[in-house]
Structure 1
Amino acid sequence: MYYKASSRWRDVLMPLFRAILVSVVVELSGFAAGAVRAEHSVESPDGNVAITFDIGQERGDLIYSVAFDGRPVIVNSRLGLALKDAASLETGFEISNVSASSHDSTYSLIYAERKTIRDHYNQLIVDLKESNTPYRKLRLTFRAYNEGAALRYTVPEQNALKSFVISAEKTQFCFAADHAAYATHSAQGQYSKVPLSKLTKDCERPLTIQINDILYAAVAEAGLVDYARMRLSPGQGQAHTVVSSLASEVDAATPLTTPWRVVMFGRTPGELLERNYLILNLNERCAIKDTSWIKPGKVIREVTLTTAGGMACVDFAAEHNLQYVEFDAGWYGHEYSDESDARTISVDPKRSKGPLDLHGVIEYAKQRDIGIILYVNRRALERQLDEILPLYEKWGIKGVKYGFVRVGPHQWTTWLHEAVRKAAEHHLMVDVHDEYRPTGYSRTYPNLMTQEGIAGDETKPSNSLTLTILFTRMLAGAADNTICYYDRRVDENASHAYQLAKSVCFYSPWQFLYWYDRPGRSPSRRAGSGAGGSHNVIGDEPELEFFDYVPTVWDDTKVIHGEIGACAVLARRSDESWFIGCMNGDTARTLDVPLDFLDKDRTYVAHIYADDPTISTRTHVKISRWLVDSATVLKAELPLRGGQAIRICPATADDLKTHQNYENVKIKERERLRSSPKESVAHIRAVQDDLFRIGSGSQNPPQSFLGGMAFEDPALDATVNRLLGLFLSLAHSL
């Protein structure tokens, strides 16, 4: 947190002062409608995020701004809705009422990236009315969270406006400077780092933006159910501004409430990712009373579309702690043919010669406690949804993968979410492919297990792209990354330890593993390479135990290192065990991985799976096992485009006898420095150089930094410098 004054009382009194100020403003607004002030503000519970709303005096424009820690981030941005064949709802308004409220609760989901989620915000509701006839009404709701800012429109029920069509949304995000943004124009597209001034139309959301070295933001959408999808386009004639761009018109009737427009904040890319639960907070609570049938798990795709292949996958899943087998495109005929019938089992001859006794596989899977998932292309879904859902429930199917669904326009957004609700009525879980990106609907209907909307392993992404996606697309929620392991693309673009780490870093309650691979007992699909080919036979490499152990849902999540496009280290907890994924980009590096999140006074075993070209297996993964505790700092040596996967679990009595203590490099370093005073002084000087640096060009005026804290007070800066000088003097005297 920034500290702008040396007085410790500021931190105590300012939150109270802010609360009193907001209360006074709201109280004054209650005397009469004509007496309501134009400008109103609301702050987050921690005081960092501030939203200000104002009415333009000349035209009655709706204007808002967002600041973080007192610094403008979004400034003088307009709001409004353009209507077809009617005057827009964006000017000529006056405030009729203002109300403020606070909310603080925690909740648990049946699956998530953390066991409990806090929903804590301060809210400002502004009721507006046109100054002249027909006196239409509009409501704006603003929420200030510690994690970010959110706003939405409500068109209340009224005689002056009943049925209408929204032709465009006029929500602006006018940034205070020309920051760098990570943009793509397709849910499965490539990302580019460009200044806001260079953005082109229809960028995908979330749009991650680097405000400066110590602040990141992301513009996102939450609660999209019955509305057109938002994308982001440059504001015409306005510097470093983006505006909401709807995929279609919206056919509406009062009362109407739009999805949330969200600005997430984090001091690092990792903190931004840790806070992605904000999207869930902005969705309705679970609407399914009995959720006992909704079960996350790991999935293997059956690539041969044969009975023998299905049986082999069921056996493999049961032996390797996977929970599901999925039959993809081709099991009911050619997926792109309107004549293919998803109510029948008729294998596409271009994909497989069969035979496929699907009912026999389903029954065998049931005996081994393995669920079956079926893929259905949108051509069949749109024609047969109401027939196949009860049919699949009768067959004993556990879930459906919706393929190539239409996304974006209002009509298809509504259809898709209705299709998820209908699946829930028949106890069917859902995975949505291909261009759909989540906005938090899994909180309301948790049978929506995961979705694509990502350049996953199917697209052969580069490491830098994957490490960009982690801090952009993954802010929206779970992603079906279709993790490969034996396919040749792994050797071309990454490493096998890197692939193991993906199962930790990329969250998906249904985690597809071995995407192009098949068990050894499965028949070969073709003689050469490719899905199910000879190169894609799953072997007996010992590191596969990591996939056996890794869960798909978590009790806690921490981002230890995160640099967009360069590297990431994530730690996630399930019960008493921790799993760590380390992914590296185009530069070899060594990263410290402190284990201070482990329980104190307890010993654990760290199972480390690392790239090592000297290992004779075809995957070249070395396994080492060490005793560790909360004081341990692991050294993750990550080669170019390499990775590490780590499983940490409480040590047993046998573990204590079998494994050695990990060399705690930090403790040994401190011991070495104590024994060498001159080297200690050099080390301290290096630390001083690292701690004190001039802020980036986006910070004005320049500031000094100490351990990530900024001091604008010159007297405080001078005091800190004197203390460091004293510290160095003491070091010289050692």
Structure 2
Amino acid sequence: MRIKFLLIVICISLSSCLMKPETVLVSPDEAISLEFSLNEQGKPFYTVFFKNKSIIKESSLGFDFENSKPFLDNFKVIKSSTTAFNETWQMPWGEQLDVVNNYNELRVELQEKSDLKRKLNIVFKVYNDGVGFRYEFPKQDNFSEAFITEENTQFNLTEDYKTFWIPGDWDIYEHLYSTTKLSEIDASVKRNHPSLGQTYIPENAVNTPVTLVGKNGIHLSFHEAALVNYSGMTLKVDTDKLSFKSSLVGSRNTTYKVKRTLPFHTPWRTIQITDNAPDLIQSNLIVNLNEPNKLGDVSWFTPMKYTGVWWEMHLGKSSWDYGMEMVDGKWTDTGKAHGKHGATTENVKRFIDFSAKNNIGGVLVEGWNTGWERWIGFEDREGVFDFVTPYPDYNLDEVTAYAKEKGVEIIMHHETSAATATYEKQQDVAYSLMQKYGMHAVKSGYVGKILPKGEYHHGQYMVNQYNNAAIKAAKYQVAVNAHEPIKATGLRRTYPNIISREGLRGQEFNAWSSDGGNPPEHLPIVAFTRMLAGPIDYTPGIFNIKFDDYKKNNQVNTTLAHQLALYVVIYSPVQMAADLVEHYEANPKPLQFIKDVGVDWSETKVLDGEVGEFVTIARKEHGTGNWFLGSITDENSRVIEIDFSFLDDNQLYEAKIYKDGKNAHWDKNPLDIEFQTIELQRTSKLKFPLAEGGGLAISIKKMN
């Protein structure tokens, strides 16, 4: 492949002529180019072009520090160098097996011309699917510790893009997406969300990934990669100048937002760039910007589907807490007993039996451990939970032995209640308990305001909490699925035991939200926004769409076929069959798709889609070669055409089709579903109608 570096002064546009670029860097396919420049005051800028069109105009780079002069200007270039890199690495689990990591790199070494002559390096990587860059603070005599009060990275756009965004909340990502022009973003409208217990949005900013669609089909998504020992980044919006600027998450306990000892580097700032929506999902920019696997063999973790004691609590059928209190060392009825505890030995065995019968590898058990009576509403939650002591009606030895006998793994649950000191102290003993019982996956939760007081979920303190918990878990062969997490930034490449996370408004909002739940457009947006960051534990598979037996005013706002399609569309190596056992047993035909569908893939093909409207994805199961296809739509019905040319040549396939019925509608008739079995081959092209809020799921297996 021809590698092209333009180390000359080029005026790609009139505006770029105003500052001479020090270097121009071009992607391997030459579609994306990046200029780095210093102006007359020594202020650093970068510019990005896509197919010769300016998409990021001159945008400045720099930092503010506590008790120190900012990195703003007065720089000179002391050295610049370019390199090319091309490799193919393999995911131990993922959306595909082989990942091409091909980029051209520019490293610019800067030094102040006066004062302390401090140094700063900026490294740019340009891929065929976008740009990543980060700051490096090298070891130096006059600068030993950085107290960063703000990072001033600009993204100055050239168009008033259609933007899909959630507010720059410092504590949660559990907001519905808004779709507005960039110039119309107003995060203040999301500050007082009726269903969110804690939230802090200090300015008009958006969280990342934030995805933009231009008039001529250009698609951009801004995010970050390799977030380690640093604060999470939101993007402050200048609606007049059509610009984003990095705004780091802070703390009420310090006047700075990041504290680091030199040498160190920041996370990568990422811009995914495509000329169509499907290629955004196909992009591997985020994982490629992370370091290679540091754990080695992680075959002890097996991607799996799972059921569990979870949805029934959201419906109100059962509870997390035991309903009795410990008095003088004995569990005593103090008038609060309700007899609705979900995590009982008998109930969990029922889930184990169902999972073993239906090709489902795991069972999640929430509410198994003591402490649930006194964590919600309590200011001081330190010491409330422990992670080794079960309630009296849950026999850990009996349950784990029974699961092992049935070939099912128990998935541990750790609700930390955001009491970080308690969890830190107990992690070793908690992970040791899991290791003793052969449990290799834990779902962790961080509900509530962070303790110690003054910290936020997305600040540097908590970034380290989340990452360190996962790194420690790996020592005990434990994989982590974090809820109420820090955003995914591709660290699953470096630490493959970081398997999934929440980090979005999940399925549970359909069960207890007062605002009508997640609308049909929610997941067609999520697929092109949050999912670009990494795997999502969304908990699909709700068959009982309307909850009349439990909550008459709540429901899932999709059709049943849409719920099946989510097993393919929304990627995670752990996929929950979230509904109640009795609802699955009453619907054996749609249950068959959940039994059949894979969770680990060797190939992914995004066949079609538009952000917020619809998406169609086909994935090839690792090991079997079976294909599965999912398609979902928003509140609008549509007809999609599927070209099956991704299948093998000269091969006949049996396709089991699960599609919306003729009268299906997400609200009026969500359970209308049709089943069909046909033969397919590579030359097949078929059209399928999707109902309002509907979907399509197909399992495709080779015929002998």
Please indicate the TM-score interval, normalised by the length of the shorter structure.
0.7 to 0.9
Q: Does 1:78 align with 2:60?
A: yes
Q: Does 1:381 align with 2:364?
A: no
Instruction: Tell me how far 1:621 sits from its aligned partner.
Output: 2.5
SS at match of 2:630: strand
Aligned mate of 2:22, from 39, 50, 55: 39
Does the 8 A contact of 1:463 with 1:565 survive in 2?
no
Gaps of 5+ in 2: 11-18, 187-203, 251-256, 311-341, 451-456, 511-517, 548-554
SS at match of 2:132: strand
Cα distance change on mapping 1:223 and 1:264 into 2, 3 Å = same
Q: Does 1:285 align with 2:292?
A: yes
Instruction: Tell me how far 1:435 sits from its aligned partner.
Output: 4.2
Q: Does 1:269 align with 2:272?
A: no
Residue 480 (structure 2) aligns with: 430
Cα offsets for 1:31-52 (capped at 9, x unmatched): xxxxx98521101000011110
Residue 581 (structure 2) aligns with: 519
Q: Does 1:225 align with 2:231?
A: no
Gaps of 5+ in 1: 1-14, 27-35, 348-353, 521-535, 653-734
Separation in structure 2 between the aligned mates of residue 268 and residue 188 of structure 1, nearest angstrom: 27
Aligned mate of 1:321, from 347, 359, 363: 359
| Structure 1 segment 434-449 matched on structure 2, within 5 A | 434-449=484-499
Residue 73 (structure 2) aligns with: 91
Residue 466 (structure 1) aligns with: 523
Does the 8 A contact of 1:345 with 1:358 survive in 2?
no
Separation in structure 1 between the aligned mates of residue 542 and residue 179 of structure 2, nearest angstrom: 29
Aligned mate of 2:175, from 175, 189, 209: 189
Separation in structure 1 between the aligned mates of residue 57 and residue 301 of structure 2, nearest angstrom: 44
Separation in structure 1 between the aligned mates of residue 616 and residue 659 of structure 2, nearest angstrom: 14
Worse overlay, 112-121 or 321-330: 321-330
Counterpart of 2:568, as a letter, is V
Residue 633 (structure 2) aligns with: 584
Aligned mate of 2:258, from 250, 255, 261: 250
Residue 421 (structure 1) aligns with: 471
Aligned mate of 2:677, from 622, 625, 633: 625
Q: Does 1:598 align with 2:647?
A: yes
Instruction: Tell me how far 1:470 sits from its aligned partner.
Output: 1.1
Separation in structure 2 between the aligned mates of residue 211 and residue 396 of structure 1, nearest angstrom: 50
Aligned mate of 2:572, from 493, 508, 512: 508
| Structure 1 segment 420-569 matched on structure 2, within 5 A | 420-460=470-510, 461-489=518-546, 492-513=556-577, 515=578, 517-520=579-582, 536=583, 538-569=585-616
Separation in structure 2 between the aligned mates of residue 239 and residue 81 of structure 1, nearest angstrom: 21
Instruction: Tell me how far 1:214 sits from its aligned partner.
Output: 1.9
Separation in structure 2 between the aligned mates of residue 489 and residue 455 of structure 1, nearest angstrom: 19
Separation in structure 1 between the aligned mates of residue 608 and residue 662 of structure 2, nearest angstrom: 25
Separation in structure 2 between the aligned mates of residue 144 and residue 191 of structure 1, nearest angstrom: 29
Cα offsets for 1:619-651 (capped at 9, x unmatched): 433211111111111211111111110011112
Does the 8 A contact of 1:138 with 1:155 survive in 2?
yes
SS at match of 2:273: strand
Separation in structure 2 between the aligned mates of residue 626 and residue 173 of structure 1, nearest angstrom: 50
Separation in structure 1 between the aligned mates of residue 105 and residue 641 of structure 2, nearest angstrom: 40
Instruction: Tell me how far 1:376 sits from its aligned partner.
Output: 1.2
Separation in structure 2 between the aligned mates of residue 107 and residue 125 of structure 1, nearest angstrom: 23
TM, length-normalised to structure 1 = 0.79
SS at match of 2:589: coil
| Structure 1 segment 386-405 matched on structure 2, within 5 A | 386-404=428-446
SS at match of 2:155: strand
Separation in structure 1 between the aligned mates of residue 476 and residue 678 of structure 2, nearest angstrom: 47
Residue 723 (structure 1) aligns with: none
Counterpart of 1:92, as a letter, is N
Cα distance change on mapping 1:489 and 1:556 into 2, 3 Å = farther
Residue 704 (structure 1) aligns with: none
Aligned mate of 2:218, from 215, 231, 248: 215
Runs of 4+ in 1 over 6 A off after TM superposition: none
Q: Does 1:300 align with 2:307?
A: yes
Give the structure with the larger helix fraction. Answer: 1
Separation in structure 1 between the aligned mates of residue 81 and residue 600 of structure 2, nearest angstrom: 39
Separation in structure 2 between the aligned mates of residue 179 and residue 549 of structure 1, nearest angstrom: 41
SS at match of 1:41: strand
Instruction: Tell me how far 1:216 sits from its aligned partner.
Output: 0.3
Aligned mate of 1:360, from 380, 398, 416: 398
Cα offsets for 1:105-134 (capped at 9, x unmatched): 000011111110000000000000101021
Cα offsets for 1:300-341 (capped at 9, x unmatched): 112421111111111111111111101114533315454544
Separation in structure 2 between the aligned mates of residue 333 and residue 96 of structure 1, nearest angstrom: 59
SS at match of 2:601: coil
Cα distance change on mapping 1:361 and 1:634 into 2, 3 Å = same
Counterpart of 1:386, as a letter, is D
Worse overlay, 539-548 or 193-202: 193-202
Does the 8 A contact of 1:486 with 1:538 survive in 2?
no
Instruction: Tell me how far 1:382 sits from its aligned partner.
Output: 4.0
Cα offsets for 1:633-672 (capped at 9, x unmatched): 12111111111100111123xxxxxxxxxxxxxxxxxxxx
Does the 8 A contact of 2:9 with 2:21 survive in 1?
no
Does the 8 A contact of 2:4 with 2:30 survive in 1?
no
SS at match of 2:429: helix
Does the 8 A contact of 1:313 with 1:518 survive in 2?
no
Does the 8 A contact of 2:388 with 2:433 survive in 1?
no
Instruction: Tell me how far 1:486 sits from its aligned partner.
Output: 2.7
Instruction: Tell me how far 1:83 sits from its aligned partner.
Output: 0.9
Does the 8 A contact of 1:166 with 1:251 survive in 2?
yes
Residue 133 (structure 2) aligns with: 151
Instruction: Tell me how far 1:559 sits from its aligned partner.
Output: 1.4
Cα offsets for 1:195-222 (capped at 9, x unmatched): 2223342311011011233210001110
Separation in structure 1 between the aligned mates of residue 662 and residue 346 of structure 2, nearest angstrom: 35
Instruction: Tell me how far 1:291 sits from its aligned partner.
Output: 1.2
Q: Does 1:642 align with 2:686?
A: no
Residue 114 (structure 2) aligns with: 132
Aligned pairs, how many? 600
Rg: which structure is higher? 1
Does the 8 A contact of 2:443 with 2:483 survive in 1?
yes
Does the 8 A contact of 1:389 with 1:423 survive in 2?
yes
